[in-house]
Structure 1
């Protein structure tokens, strides 16, 4: 299990298995945000089983399923809302962690500099430089609302 701490509130990882959920609870995670659609691949663990296991251990579960590279405003808002209303620490996951880190960056674009977001993502192994312009545009749009 490779958990990557992005900041004090949020960490990411690739797809957890059912046995990982108890380890995540023992590690102190209180919220999980799943960004992977159910049944995306045949080898994907059953999301309902993961959710039930997490909730039985007192972990709050959110599902914000997105396809790679397709981040609707509603998805970003849902992710931001989940982060803001969650008990820390929060773990986000998808197949590889990439969608989770992308959604985290968009959700924080209105509150943090884009350079800082890119730096935090880079520090845990994700290059968000290709999203820089989109993050800046999103920040500017959200700032005007």
Structure 2
């Protein structure tokens, strides 16, 4: 599954399969968010499939699909609102986990909760790299401080 712990209450993962959802449920995850557009790749489980499997395990699923070309502040805010909903363990996924990690980083920096450097360091610990968004993270940090 390529699962990594990003924060105390957030896991990030690559594309989920049915067994992965069961494993996440075993870890106490109550909320999933899919950051991957349907039909991005042949063979991936689409949102409807994930929703059905997650429901069997008592999980809810949110959908904020992004590509690097379509990423907007609305997406960042939607991810931030999903992440802030409660303290229950959560999991975000996309093709590799990088977009989900980036959305978390952007949402937390934009909200003034952490610095751009802290966000990059946290994501780096998961084995993912968001350094290509360093300028945007820094810009959001500056805006959050204003």
Compute the TM-score of the two structures, normalised by the length of structure 2.
0.91
Residue 138 of structure 1, CA deviation: 2.0
Distance (whole Å) between structure 1 residues aligned to residue 72 and residue 58 of structure 2: 29
Task: Write out the 4+ residue segments of structure 1 that deviate beyond 4 Å after TM superposition.
Answer: none
Counterpart for residue 113 of structure 1: 115
Counterpart for residue 44 of structure 2: 44
State the secondary structure of the residue aligned to 2:2: coil
State the secondary structure of the residue aligned to 2:7: coil
State the secondary structure of the residue aligned to 2:84: helix
State the secondary structure of the residue aligned to 1:96: coil
Counterpart for residue 26 of structure 2: 26
Residue 21 of structure 1, CA deviation: 1.1
Q: Which runs of 5+ in 1 are unaligned?
A: none
Q: Which runs of 5+ in 2 are unaligned?
A: none
Question: Would the alpha carbon gap of residues 113 and 142 (structure 1) be closer, same or farther in structure 2, given more than 3 Å must change?
Answer: closer
Question: Would the alpha carbon gap of residues 114 and 42 (structure 1) be closer, same or farther in structure 2, given more than 3 Å must change?
Answer: same
Give the alignment of 1:78-89 within 5 angstroms. Answer: 78-89=78-89
Residue 140 of structure 1, CA deviation: 2.8
- 8 Å contact from structure 1 (residues 31, 87) kept in 2: no
Distance (whole Å) between structure 2 residues aligned to residue 136 and residue 120 of structure 1: 15
Distance (whole Å) between structure 1 residues aligned to residue 129 and residue 36 of structure 2: 20
Residue 143 of structure 1, CA deviation: 4.8
Residue 28 of structure 1, CA deviation: 1.0
Distance (whole Å) between structure 1 residues aligned to residue 65 and residue 108 of structure 2: 18
Question: Would the alpha carbon gap of residues 7 and 48 (structure 1) be closer, same or farther in structure 2, given more than 3 Å must change?
Answer: same
Compute the TM-score of the two structures, normalised by the length of structure 1.
0.91
Counterpart for residue 93 of structure 2: 93
- 8 Å contact from structure 1 (residues 114, 136) kept in 2: yes
